[in-house]
Structure 1
C-alpha cells in the first residue's frame, strides 16, 4: 500500500519529489543512524548537520537498492544529497525573505487531497505512512516545504514568463514536421554544469568532461550509475530519469534532437547557459488521434485573509448560492463579489477548460457536476469557491485548442529552463562552506 501511495505522489502535480524526501520504506531507525551533530556545510545563516545528511543518504541508498541500481561510492552519493539539501535550504530562506508562508489550513487541505487521491481518509493515510516508518510530523513538514518552494518558483520565475504569438506559431509548425507522429518520450538526462560567469577554460573543461561521459555511455556503461556519479542535474539521484513526457512538454533544448534519435541512442553534448546536457532516448510512443473532454464553467472565489475568515468566506458563498438558486444571475453576482478578477470581469466565466488547466481539487469538484448544476462551497489554497458547470463536450483539437496547448507547453518549458537558472544563481550567490569528510 505504501509503495502505491508513493507512486501516486510522484505522479501528482503538487508533490514533485516526495519519493526522494521519504524513500520507499524509511529504515533509518532500524539501521541505527547515529545522531551526530557535526556540521557538514554552512549555508548562509543555516547549517547542514551530519545527522541530517546521514538520514537523507540512508533513504536514497534504500531506494536505489530496491530498484536494483548499481551504487556509486558512498562519497559520491553524499555529495549529491548534500547539494540537494543545500539547495533546499537556500530556497526556504529565499521564500522566508519573500514573505512566503503556508497556513495550517492550506497544509491540511493539501494533505487531505493526497489521502483522498489514495482512497483513504486522513486517519487511514497516517497509519499507512507510519506503518512504513514515515513520521507523520516529518511528512507534514516535507509537504509544507514543497508548497513553499513551489510558490517561490511561481513568484520568481513563472509569473515573469511571457509567450509570444510568433513562438506559438513556430511551435505548432515544428510539431507538425520535426516530431512526426511521436507523442511521448521517455528520457534519461545528465547535466555537466557550468556556473554563471565561467571562464573559457572552465567551459572547455566541462565540455571535455561531457564528451568523456558520452564516450563511456556509448561504450556500454550504465546511464543511471553514471548520472548518480557525474550529473549536476536535479534528477541525478533518480539516475537522471526524467520519466515519460508528452512531446509538447519536452524542454526546448531537447525537442529537435530527440525527434531524430532512436531508442537507446545517446545525444552529443547540448550546450545551454546552465551547462552541457546529455540525453538518452529510452523510449518513445506514437499516438492516435485523441478526443478530449472539455468543460465550460463559471465560478465565484472569496479569498480568505486577515479580514475575511474561513467561516466568513463560506457563509458569503452560501448566501450567494441561495440567491443563484432563487434566480439571481450567476454572472452578475460573480462580477460584484468574486475575488478572481480575471474571471469576475467576464461574469465568472472560465471558458472551455481541459483536465490539468485548473487546480486538481477544483477539477475534482467540477467533475462531479452535471451541466447546469451548482456546487456547494469548497476550499482550495486560493480561498473558497462555488462553481457551476454550463456545458461539456467531446472535442477534437481545433486550431484554437492547439494554440492554447502550445502556449501552455512553451510556458512550462520556459519555466523549467528559467527555474534551473534561478536555482543555479541562488546557489552561486550564496555563502556555502562545505565541510564534508568521508564518513
Structure 2
C-alpha cells in the first residue's frame, strides 16, 4: 500500500491555470478499499473532458522549488494519479482542490529529495531509494490489488498516467520515511510515565461514551486558509457520499497521523478529540459521516463506525411481542390482550422462539428491538430489563402504545477492553514521529524559495 504523503501548506496561486486533464470517470482500481457511506447528496456535474498534452507540447512551468522546476505536465499527471487513487470523481467544483493537492505534493517531494541529496552528500550515506527498491514497492502495491506488476502498470497507462509519475512519488515517500524513521525513530523513547499518564486518563474517562472512528484532517495552514479547508472538506464529503472510499480519501487528503492507515483512529473516548469533534460525535449514529467540523487549526471529517457506552453501564438485547392498544382502550380490551400475552408467555421458551410462537396468535406482533443501554430504555421497559436475566420474559407491560411482552436475549457490561501497554506505546510513537516530520517539513518550507506560476 502506498504510504501517505505529508500534505503541506502551499496555496496554488493561479487556480485558473489551464491544465489539460481528462476528467471522465476514472475507475478507482489502484487500491482495494472498504465500502463508503451510502450516497445521500445529489451528484455534481463532471467537468468537461480534455486530453492531457504529452511532455514537450504546450508544456510550461507550474512552480519552481529552489531552482527545481515542476512543469504543467508533471502537475497534470499528478492530478490524474490523485484522482485515480482517491476514488473521488473530478468535477468543475473540485478540480481546483485536486490541483492544489497535487501541487502541494509535488513541492513537498522536491523539498524532500533536495534535503536527502544534501544529507547523502554531507554524510556520505545512501538514503534515496534505488530503482530496484522502487520496483519492489510497486510490486507490493500490485500484489495488494491482486495484480501482476505488468497488469498494475498497464492499468495506470490505460488511465493516462505515466509509470514515472508513480515511481517519482513512491521514491520520494519511501526515501523520506526511511530517513525520518532512521534519524528520529531510534531516538524516540516512550517512557513508562507517558504510558501511565495515558492509562490514568483512559481510566478516568472509562465511564464516558467511546467511539470507533475514521478521520480526515485538512490543515488550514497547509491549504491556504480556513475557508479553503472548509470548502475542500465539503467537496470531499459530497464525493464520499457518492461512493468515494473513505480510506482512499484519507490516504490522499488527510494531514493526520492516521492517513497512512486510511484514517483509522480506532476507539477513542469522549475528551480525546477537540471539543468541536466531541460535540459532533454525540449527535452522530454509527455509519454516519459528519459535516465539516472546524477546529482551531483546520477541519475534520469524521466517519463514525461504531459507538459504545462507557464502562459501568449495562447493555441489553431485547425482543418483544405486543398487542396494540390506545391509551383510551376500555378495560375489557386490555384484559383480553393481557390474556393473550400471558398464554403466549407460557408457550415461549426464550428469544429463540418468541417470534415464531407470537405469529400463531392473532393480533400479536413480535420483533427484535436490538441492543441498548438499560438506562436509555423507557421507564417501564427499563424496570423489567433490570430485573430479568438473559433468556427470561417479563409479564405483560402496559404502555401508551399497547401491551408488551419483553424478552431479554443477552446482557453485558458496557464499554470495551482497555488499550494494552503496547498499543499505547505504538500510538504515542506514531504521534511523536508524525509531529517531528511535520516540523521538519515546515522548516524546509520556511527556508526554501518556492514560486508558483
TM-score (norm 1): 0.51
Give every structure 1 segment of 4 or more consecutive aligned residues whose post-TM-superposition deviation is greater than 6 Å. 61-65, 234-237
Whether the aligned pair in 2 keeps the contact of 1:190 and 1:236 (CA below 8 Å) is: no
Does the CA-based 8 Å contact 1:41-1:49 persist in structure 2? yes
Change (3 A) 1:5 1:159: farther
For residues 279-320 of structure 1, the C-alpha deviation after alignment (integer angstroms, 9 at most, x for no partner) is 3434242379xxxxxxxxxxxxxxxxxxxxxxxxxxxxxxxx
Shift of 1:423: 1.1
For structure 1, the residue ranges without an aligned partner over 5 or more in a row are: 12-26, 196-205, 229-233, 271-275, 289-396
- Partner of 1:133, secondary structure, is coil
Match of 2:111 in 1: 90
**Post-superposition offset of 1:114:** 2.3
Is the CA contact 1:227–1:236 (under 8 Å) kept in the aligned structure 2?
A: no
| TM-aligned CA deviation for residue 402 of structure 1 | 0.8
- For residues 163 and 88 of structure 1, the distance between their equivalents in structure 2, rounded to whole angstroms, comes to 30
| Residues 247 and 165 of structure 1, relative CA distance in 2, 3 Å threshold | same
**Retained in 2: the 8 A contact 1:190–1:279?**
yes
Give the 3 Å change call, closer, same or farther, for CA 260–160 of structure 1 in structure 2.
farther
Q: Is the 8 A contact 1:191 1:278 kept in 2?
A: yes
Counterpart of 1:115 in structure 2 is 142
> Are 2:223 and 1:223 aligned?
no
- Distance of aligned partners of 1:5 and 1:66 in 2 relative to their CA distance in 1, 3 Å threshold: closer
Q: Does 1:254 align with 2:273?
A: yes
Structure 2 CA distance, aligned partners of 1:152 and 1:29? 39
Asked if 2 retains the 8 angstrom alpha-carbon contact of 1:38 and 1:50, the reply is: yes
Q: Is the Cα–Cα contact under 8 Å of residues 192 and 277 in structure 1 kept in the other structure?
A: yes
1:430, distance to aligned residue in structure 2 (A):
1.0
TM-aligned CA deviation for residue 124 of structure 1: 3.6
- The equivalent residue for 2:439 is 421
Residue 42 of structure 1: SS of its match in structure 2? Answer: strand
SS class of match (1:67): coil
Counterparts of 1:2-401 in structure 2 under 5 Å? 3=27, 5-8=29-32, 30-32=51-53, 35-57=57-79, 60=82, 67=89, 71-72=93-94, 74=96, 77-99=98-120, 100-178=127-205, 180=208, 182=210, 184-193=212-221, 210=226, 223-225=233-235, 238=253, 243-247=262-266, 254=273, 258-259=277-278, 261-262=280-281, 263=284, 264=290, 267=293, 269-270=295-296, 276-286=297-307
Paired residue for 2:344?
none
Change (3 A) 1:44 1:278: same
Q: 1:91 deviation in Å?
A: 0.5
Per-residue CA shift, 1:317-357, capped at 9, x if unaligned? xxxxxxxxxxxxxxxxxxxxxxxxxxxxxxxxxxxxxxxxx
- SS of the equivalent of 1:113 reads helix
User: Is the Cα–Cα contact under 8 Å of residues 33 and 55 in structure 1 kept in the other structure?
Assistant: no
Deviation (angstroms), 1:418: 2.2
Normalized against structure 2, the TM-score is what? Answer: 0.49
Aligned partner of 1:431 in structure 2 is 449
- Judged with a 3 Å threshold, the aligned counterparts in structure 2 of structure 1 residues 65 and 236 are, in CA distance, closer, same or farther, namely closer
CA contact (8 A) 1:101 1:148 kept: yes
How far, CA to CA, are the matches of 1:80 and 1:257 in structure 2? 25
Cα distance in structure 2, aligned partners of 1:269 and 1:188: 13
Which structure dedicates a bigger proportion of its chain to helix?
1
Distance 1:3 1:184, change over 3 A: farther
CA contact (8 A) 2:116 2:176 kept: yes
CA distance in 2, matches of 1:125, 1:266: 34
Equivalent pairs counted in the alignment come to 279
Rounded to whole Å, the distance in 1 between the matches of 2:263 and 2:188 is 24
Relative to structure 1, the CA distance from residue 257 to residue 398 in structure 2 (aligned partners, 3 Å threshold; closer, same or farther) is same
Deviation at 1:72, TM superposition (A): 4.7
Q: Deviations over 1:242-278 (max 9, x none)?
A: 554233699x9837764554233665633xxxxx133
| TM superposition shift of 1:427 | 0.6
Deviations 1:22-56 (A, max 9, x none): xxxxx999444673343332211312223322333
Are 2:429 and 1:411 aligned?
yes
Point out the structure with max Rg over C-alpha: 2
Q: Is the 8 A contact 1:227 1:240 kept in 2?
A: no
